[in-house]
A and B are shown apart, each in its own frame.
Chain A
Amino acid sequence: MSREVMEYDVVIVGGGPSGLSTAIKLKQLNPDINVCLLEKASEIGAHILSGNVFETRALDELFPNWKELNAPIQTKVSKEKFLFLGKEKSLSWPTWLLPKVQQNHKNYIISLANLCRWLAEQAEALGVEIFPGFPASEILYHDDGSVKGVATQDMGLDKEGNKKDSFEPGMELHAKVTVFAEGCRGHLGKELIKKFDLSKGKDPQQYGIGFKEIWEVNEKNHEEGLVMHTAGWPLDKNTYGGSFVYHAQNKQVYLGYVIGLDYQNPHLSPFDEFQRFKTHTAIKKMLEGGKRISYGARALIEGGLQSLPKMYMPGALLIGCDAGTLNMPKIKGSHTAMKSGMIAAEAIIDHIKESKKPLCL
């Protein structure tokens, strides 16, 4: 089967915070480099789901003028709460007794999907070619085993894999460096980790499942800038997890729950734990008279440094949550994902410079 082949300097798989940051940084460092970014969703942002309380550290480095560029980052955290929930009661833990990593007064409540859409605009303005609706489905290798690029999914196959009238073969994208930025448990990242034995000597990876709902609440229950987390009920003491409640703009509350996927009881239903959590008096009174407008869920990667695989292999890099750069106690991964993407860009540019030097024997 012949597929169309396109050649790039760098191909990036995934239009989340890490992949977009790589694309932008590459173009900032070298406007002549040609960069293509593939995204499986119909548009950038449509598969992004995150809390999100955002630390701007990486963005400050990438775009020091992000405020002038109208980045969708407006709601500064104004108040914090941490509650231990019992079945009926709740105990408020003083914020000053929280570890520094869990203090958020310099951070912002944002929609990560909207931030990604904005990052994609910046990337396109710099000349990055972004292809939404094209999932990378296959890794291509050179004869020597190094990564050559990726192929996109064929279109128009039926249930049995036969070609329909609408069949269109996928494209091959070849690159000097392919950057995998699929997010947590990327299916190509998983293949690379196995093929190149990247987790050798590392601890088993740890994951969680995160739920999020967006609610429009009654004005009297809304406190823009409030960030609240809870631990305890309805989970038993051996199940790792907790909730987040972020009061964003326009009377919206981002409400969510994360449960460690190392739970032991096969009868546990993460979805139903989240639903039950909302019936706690402390939460229910905030939601009453409000309306749920969005729902979603996504696995997240929690193993941290012990489980972080080797992130480079011949011809390719693994970045962001595809590798596992999330900071679990901070409950944040966007700034670390972005920074890992920016470092990837710097490494690629350095490497290109090195490769251009004449060989000294």
Chain B
Amino acid sequence: MITLKRVKNLSVYEEKFNKSWVYKELHEARNVKPSFSWGLILGIIFTGIDQILFRGKLPFTLRHKHADHETLKMADKMPKIDYPKPDNIITFDKTSSVYLTGTNHTDNQPVHLKLKDPELPIKYTLDKYDEPAQRYCPAGVYEVQYENDLAKFVINSQNCIHCKTCDIKEPSQNITWVTPEGGGGPKYGNM
């Protein structure tokens, strides 16, 4: 063991980082993503100017204005999208897709997707946003089920593939992803 007093100030890390090629690279890249908040066409035009003509050296920095959980509009104000049914040749459903991830979590353990307010999905999010967790989750963890016309929010946590999307996108930040028991989660091969 190396003897040293407890390390208190590690600011040397950022000093080194800011002098490295990573910083330079990220600095030149910084304006591309925010420009796409103006839409695809304007984003492409701006990126052409920024990246090809000025090579990322324009003398200003565009800002990100909103966190991702703030951007959803009300469900009744936005168009429904009619997705085609899977053909099981080229396109598939979530169930058969999740099967391929090999994900598994030991039965009978605490749910690792915590709701700050367990009532919120049905009382608020379902009404305002048609509970988008049913759609943004890529593994079908979240479902709204109906029993005698009563809506119920179901969390199939054993399906979770640890992508963290719910923790990011839930409009009220009501879902917190925590670690499940060791070894749980997908079993990806050469991904």
Contact = CB atoms under 8 A, between A and B. Distances in A.
Contacts of B187: 41-42, 46
Contact of B13 (A288, A308, A343): A343
A99 B47 contact: yes
A355 B4 contact: yes
Contacts of B65: 203-204
Contacts of A42: 183, 185, 187
Main secondary structure of the interface of B (DSSP, over half): loop
Interface in B18-54: 20-23, 25-30, 32-34, 36-37, 39-41, 43-44, 47-48, 51-52
Contact of B73 (A266, A271, A317): A266
Interface string A43-62: 00111111000000100000
Contacts of B180: 135, 153
Contacts of B3: 356
Contact of B129 (A240, A266, A303, A306): A266
A170 to B, nearest CB: 9
B114 to A, nearest CB: 10
A262 B33 CA distance: 11
By size class, the interface of chain B is 35 or more
B64 A176 contact: no
Nearest to A327: B29
Interface string B84-116: 101000111010011011000000111100000
Nearest to A350: B12
Contacts of B56: 101
Contacts of B179: 40, 135-137, 153, 187
B6 interface: yes
A25 B119 CA distance: 48
B120 to A, nearest CB: 15
A177 interface: yes
B1 interface: yes
Given A276-B91, A325-B26, A146 B162 contact: no
Interface in A258-309: 260-272, 275-276, 278-279, 284, 287-288, 292-299, 302-308
Q: Chain A, interface size: which category?
A: 35 or more
B123 interface: no
Contact of B6 (A146, A184, A284): A146
Contacts of B20: 339, 343
A268 B14 contact: no
Contacts of A78: none
Contacts of B63: 203, 306
Most buried by A among B27, B30, B72, B138: B138
Given A153-B181, A177-B10, 15 more contacts: A40-B162, A46-B185, A153-B180, A187-B177, A209-B163, A262-B68, A264-B72, A268-B135, A270-B135, A271-B138, A304-B29, A305-B61, A312-B9, A340-B22, A343-B20
16 contacts: A41-B187, A47-B188, A157-B109, A157-B110, A266-B130, A272-B81, A294-B190, A304-B29, A312-B11, A317-B13, A325-B26, A343-B22, A347-B10, A347-B16, A352-B7, A356-B4
